[in-house]
Amino acid sequence: MPGGHRIGLLDALCRGLNGYARGLASARALGILVLATVAGCGDSARDEEAWEEDRERLVESLVENGIDDPLVLAAMRKVPRHEFVPASVRGRAYDDDALPIDQDQTISQPRVVALMTQVLGLRGGERVLEIGTGSGYHAAVLAQIAAEVYTIEIVPELAESAAARLDRLGYSNVSVRQGDGYLGWPEKAPFDAIVVTAAPSHPPPALVEQLKEGGRMVLPIGESGEVQDLYLLEKGADGVQTKRLVPVRFVPMVGEAQKKKDSGDR
């Protein structure tokens, strides 16, 4: 069974077990919750104070690893990452690790999310484009700072679930579109900042075009299955300046990006 299907089934099992337990007398509920823990659903019913303590520890580790933008740290402290991962891995939501989500995809390591957000230099009021919505976590972090976030996801099931999740959590300044991120979102351009969370072999020309003069784009570039490099692109009157930041590992950008790579056409 594909990994995404296993996660989805276990997530549904966890929700069912915990929901059933809440409707039972205490002794039987305890037995159901023990079963939920054995099934890998531990921590799914923790109170918000415990989650806040976990987020604070995560933020402390981010500071130790060079994240120092107060707005980024406040966003990471605010966004409930446990709401963006399956119940089967919710107990690890605030570990500084990438975690599996549905459709054989992953939610990025918090340190990478924070770094990519920090290098954009957001100060509030910006219009931001994200390519690769995934679970919606990075969009939620961006939405804590920017005025408007537009995010594109190529996998229909992920786009639908992320849109519902962001709506449920109250992120009214995030718009989700299902489509090919290589082509951007021209109707909403230009953007003050663009963040790409899947690796193309080259900067997508449409995204460079849709970036406002003075804007920044951060994206991984490299081959699938290999360590890629994270780049910062800054668009000025004289063209685009490129800076290599750190090694990273992202899923490949598919769709039109893959076709361009296969044909050698950029």
Three-class secondary structure of residue 124 per DSSP: coil
Cα separation values, 36 from 12, 32, 33, 85, 87, Å: 11, 6, 5, 17, 10
Q: Among 84, 244, 73, which Cα is nearest to 162's?
A: 84
Place of tokens 């023990």: 34
Residues 6+ apart with CB under 8 A from 29: 21, 22
Pair of tokens at residue 178: 């299902």
Widest distance between CA atoms in the chain:
70
| CB atoms closer than 10 angstroms to residue 147 | 13
Please give the Cα distance from 163 to 41 (Å, whole number).
Answer: 24
Told to judge if 108 belongs to the known catalytic residues of this protein, a careful annotator would answer yes
CB contact at 8 A, 106 and 84: no
Dihedral class, residue 191 (left if φ above 0, else alpha if ψ from -120 to 50, else beta): beta
Residue 185's identity, in one-letter code, is W
Sign of CA dihedral 80, 84, 88, 93: negative
Q: In DSSP terms, which residues pair with 236 in a beta bridge?
A: 239
Q: Which of 88, 108, 161, 201 is catalytic?
A: 108
| Exposed/middle/buried for residue 40 (C-beta within 10 Å: 0-12, 13-18, 19+) | middle
User: What are the residue numbers of the active site?
Assistant: 108
